[in-house]
Amino acid sequence: MTETIKVKELATALNLEIVTGEEEALDRDICTADVSRPGLELTGYFNYYSHDRLQLFGSKEVTFARRMMPEERLMVVRRLCAEDTPALIISRGLDVPDEMVQACNEKQIPILRSTISTSRLLGQITSYLDGRLATRTNVHGVLVDVYGLGVLIQGDSGIGKSETALELIKRGHRLIADDRVDIYKQDDLTLIGEPPKILEHLIEIRGIGIIDVMNLFGASAVRGSMQVQLAVYLEAWAKDKKYDRLGSSDEVVELGEVAIPQIKIPVKTGRNVAIIIEVAAMNFRAKTMGYDATQAFEDRLSQLIEENSAL
């Protein structure tokens, strides 16, 4: 099913002024994050007109339109107002030509206006629509903000994911989503996670039930969304299994067509998993900044071998 949002949602989110448009017009659907600046169309060239996009008018488009004769301006704007055109948007707080208002009222297409520059407005609209219209999938796990790093905690049911997240929250970190995380691609390399509305700020602890994290720990203990940067998989400790002790393995997990670095942590009595995840997050950040403790150890080991060989 194709994601859509209403024009009135966009207007509210970006604080856009509604110049004209009744409730019915504001209920029009936006189906694509692409935005058009109809410069060529104002000259009468409609061969490749993207009529299903938001039409953004900056100072260039408005100035050009004002140099046209009123009858010509009305005719061109009427052609811009297709059945599936969501809205016309004016930047920089510019005055809207009367013919534009007339044509839009005829087709029940709203006109929105912002005081900010065209480039900034275009960026805000595209960023907002990319997030709202992106295809979403959901994964089982807990997403926590640990030192500004989005850590997705996964593992078998009952392994202690929510309890670990609760310990992290008590240690000053923030919950994004528990049990189910809705994820979407912001771009080819960026994955964003957020909670389903029904589970927002909630966490389930076996034996206690559902608790409201924001109610108990305050607004600073939660956040609405977060980039997923590291996946942590909790697995039951097995005596005969060999585990990575140097941190040299570079495992990844595919989530929403994006490869996310993954580490596996064996869980057994006596291990403080929350502290281990904190250290894993700090170590991952150090690696992204260019320092790799594993490589440093291997360099020291190689140097020691060379020194002993020279004796």
Helix ranges (DSSP H) in 88-234: 98-107, 118-133, 161-170, 213-217
* Residue 185 assigned ligand-binding role: no
What amino acid is encoded at 46 in this protein? F
155 in a known ligand binding site: yes
* Cα separation values, 15 from 52, 66, 125, 196, Å: 22, 26, 11, 24
CB contact burial 144-153 (16+ within 10 A = b; e otherwise) = bbbeebbbbb
3-state SS assignment for residue 203: strand
**Residues noted as catalytic:** 140, 161, 179, 245
Answer yes or no: is 117 a known binding residue. Answer: no
Question: How long, in residues, is the chain?
Answer: 311
How far is 222 from 186, CA to CA, in rounded Å?
A: 21
Instruction: Confirm or deny that 84 is annotated as ligand binding.
Output: no
Phi, psi of 182, rounded to the nearest 5 degrees: -85, 125
**Cα separation of 97 and 57, whole Å?**
11
Rounded distance, CA 4 to CA 36, Å?
18
Q: Is 240 known to sit in a ligand binding site?
A: no
* 21 belongs to an annotated ligand binding site: no
What span, in angstroms and rounded, lies between the C-alpha atoms of 198 and 91? 36
By DSSP bridging, strand 88-90 and strand 111-113 are: parallel
Q: Is 115 helix (H, G, I), strand (E, B) or coil?
A: coil
Rounded to 5 degrees, φ, ψ at 258 are: -120, 130
Is 182 flagged in the annotation as binding?
Answer: no
Distance of CA 168 to the CA centre of its chain: 23
Output the known binding site for Mg(2+).
Answer: 162, 204
Output the known binding site for ATP.
Answer: 155-162
Output the known binding site.
Answer: 155-162, 204
